[in-house]
């Protein structure tokens, strides 16, 4: 009897076990804003964490206007080498995967979009000021086109559209992308996405994996403070403001030695700005114009130019700011609000703050023997020609070329050792 029961239990387990398949956890991260080195590192770390914890997949909620080619390629390489499926989901409605974001979407194991989103406009642009050489730009475009086509072919997506997105800056809606086989799924929410990709077979490395995502637990991974801070520093407007604060802080410390605080703030701001400029290609011509503008303002304090140097400095700083990142209408441009704020602060800084510092340096010495010159005192005895005077709260031996009576006011004209020369006030 025992053997029969054991046999029946074993049969039941064999029959029921395949029906009870619990989906593993699905990790989820958000990549918003420009594609930059901090974003690239965050995505890379998240893929590694998902793989180490044996997650079913990693969902990347993407909303980006584009970004740096180097950072985009790092993300693509990480996705291609990942040991866990990466689902890139352009979400929520109103989001976009433009420029570098379009290439990342094409490279994903599963490409998905929410209604009301768009993808495309992946034509490469040159940064750093000045018009690029036509032949060199053509090479860049052809390289980007071949890159997009190879990724689309690898994932079985529309190769022709991928090429047009690069060469013609084609952009499509979520519905159009689904019809054109640019993406695999259109979903209204993360739960809807998980239900629609369930059972889909994806190629991860040299393996084929069947996704089991329906009803899976979604574990959001928060962006670490380090990456949020570095991404904030990489914003062109923030980097620009930090650079100007750094220049002014160092300059104020030079004009007013010992203040310490402006010098410390200036040094830290410049270091942070230089970090940002490593990730944001800048125009050195624009940077030179900004420095020249600061020189003009400094000279205004030394030379009587009747405001001409100030005007020249303002024009130089504004033009240099516009040229610093010469890429209007993109995420890399510096806003007019930032330029206006810097111009206004520059006027206030040089006209008020530095003028006070210069006046303090040129003002009369108030300590030591030099501080006695011109001071008013009172004769405590008759000066015929020598006597005693009370100056600066002290009793001094004094000599006068003309007689001075006790109680009369006197002015110090010279200091000779421990004797002051005075005259009637």
Helix axes 134-155, 69-80, angle to 10 degrees: 20
Name the residue with tokens 């923030």: 238
Element (H, E) at 387: strand 386-391
Residue 99 annotated as catalytic: yes
Among candidate residues 36, 40, 46, 99, the one labeled active-site is: 99
What gap in Å lies between CA 334 and CA 339, rounded to an integer?
Answer: 7
Contacts of 313 (CB under 8 A, 6+ apart): 292, 293, 294, 295, 296, 297, 300, 346, 350
Quickly count: other Cβ atoms within 10 Å of residue 402's Cβ: 10
The one-character DSSP state at 351 is I
Can you tell me whether residue 410 is helix, strand or coil?
Answer: strand
**125 half-sphere exposure, CB direction, 13 A CA radius:** 23
Among candidate residues 77, 93, 139, 217, the one labeled active-site is: 139
Pull the structure tokens for residue 156.
């079985």
Are β-strands 118-120 and 171-173 bridged in parallel, bridged antiparallel, or unpaired? antiparallel
What gap in Å lies between CA 42 and CA 276, rounded to an integer?
Answer: 17
Contacts of 238 (CB under 8 A, 6+ apart): 232, 276
**What are the Cα distances from residue 196, in Å, to 191, 215, 237?**
9, 11, 41
**What are the Cα distances from residue 413, in Å, to 49, 384, 396, 424?**
80, 17, 14, 10
What gap in Å lies between CA 103 and CA 65, rounded to an integer?
Answer: 12
What gap in Å lies between CA 150 and CA 101, rounded to an integer?
Answer: 16
Residue 139 annotated as catalytic: yes
Pull the structure tokens for residue 279.
């990730």
Contacts of 407 (CB under 8 A, 6+ apart): 378, 379
What gap in Å lies between CA 242 and CA 237, rounded to an integer?
Answer: 9
Q: Among 392, 390, 424, which Cα is nearest to 410's?
A: 424
What gap in Å lies between CA 113 and CA 104, rounded to an integer?
Answer: 13
Max CA pair span of the chain: 140
Residues classed as catalytic: 99, 139
């Amino acid at each position: 009897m025992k053997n029969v029961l054991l046999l029946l239990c074993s049969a039941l387990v064999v029959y029921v076990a395949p029906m009870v398949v619990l989906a593993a956890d699905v990790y989820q991260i958000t990549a918003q804003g420009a594609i930059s080195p901090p974003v690239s590192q965050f995505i890379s770390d998240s893929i590694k964490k998902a793989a180490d914890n044996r997650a079913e997949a990693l969902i990347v909620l993407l909303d980006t206007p584009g970004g740096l080619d180097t950072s985009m390629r790092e993300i693509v390489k990480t996705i291609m080498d990942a040991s866990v499926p990466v689902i890139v989901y352009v979400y929520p409605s109103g989001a976009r995967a433009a420029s570098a974001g379009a290439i990342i979407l094409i490279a994903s194991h599963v490409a998905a979009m929410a209604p009301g989103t768009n993808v495309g406009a992946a034509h490469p642009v040159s940064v750093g000021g000045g018009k690029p050489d036509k032949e060199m730009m053509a090479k860049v475009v052809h390289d980007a086109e071949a890159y997009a086509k190879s990724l689309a072919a690898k994932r079985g997506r529309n190769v022709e559209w991928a090429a047009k997105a690069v060469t013609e800056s084609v952009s499509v809606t979520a519905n159009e992308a689904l019809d054109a086989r640019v993406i695999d799924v259109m979903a209204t929410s993360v739960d809807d996405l998980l239900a629609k990709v369930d059972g889909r077979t994806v190629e991860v490395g040299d393996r084929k994996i069947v996704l089991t995502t329906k009803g899976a637990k979604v574990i959001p991974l928060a962006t670490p403070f380090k990456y949020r801070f570095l991404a904030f520093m990489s914003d062109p407007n923030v980097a620009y403001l930090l650079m100007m604060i750094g220049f002014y802080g160092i300059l104020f410390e030079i004009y007013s030695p010992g203040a310490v605080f402006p010098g410390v703030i200036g040094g830290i701001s410049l270091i942070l700005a230089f970090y940002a400029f490593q990730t944001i290609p800048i125009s050195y011509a624009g940077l030179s114009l900004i420095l020249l503008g600061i020189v003009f303002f400094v000279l205004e304090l030394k030379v009587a130019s009747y405001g001409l140097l100030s005007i020249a400095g303002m024009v130089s700083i504004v033009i240099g700011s516009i040229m610093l990142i010469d890429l209007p209408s993109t995420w890399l441009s510096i806003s007019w609000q930032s330029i206006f704020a810097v111009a206004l602060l520059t006027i206030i800084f040089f006209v008020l703050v530095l003028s006070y510092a210069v006046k303090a340096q040129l003002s009369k010495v108030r300590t030591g023997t030099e501080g006695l010159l011109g001071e008013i005192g009172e004769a405590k005895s008759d000066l015929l020609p020598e006597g005693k005077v009370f100056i600066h709260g002290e009793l001094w031996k004094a000599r006068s070329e003309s007689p001075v009576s006790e109680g009369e006011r006197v002015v110090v004209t010279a200091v000779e050792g421990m004797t002051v020369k005075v005259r009637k006030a």
